Amino acid sequence: MSCDYFIQTELVIEFIESNRALSITKTNRMVNRGYISHIPDNDSDDDYETQEKKFNKELEKIINENTYKKMLYENDRWVKSSYEKRYLHP
């Protein structure tokens, strides 16, 4: 079944090893399908090009709302104690 977009989430751990090399580990990856159920200002009289522009504008809005980075550990400290409980002592 087709969809309008995919949402991918994962935990990315970046750290510097004792030999000063940067290491990256990715885990807990999930990919979910997304659907655009409503396009604002949608008009049945719009031509294909206008419909495509409105669709792409709505898609870009959804992508921007769902794209971010969250720091869990920084400067040798957990940013929040809840992160430490969740990831260090599951």
Per-residue pLDDT tens digits for 27-52: 889 999 999 888 888 777 888 898 88
* pTM score of the predicted model: 0.59
Q: How many whole angstroms separate alpha carbon 14 and alpha carbon 12? A: 6
Q: Max CA-CA distance within the chain? A: 63
Q: How far apart are CA 1 and CA 3, in angstroms?
A: 7
Residue recorded with tokens 């989430």: 9
User: Mind listing the pLDDT tens digit for each residue in 18-27?
Assistant: 899 999 999 8
DSSP character for 80? Answer: S
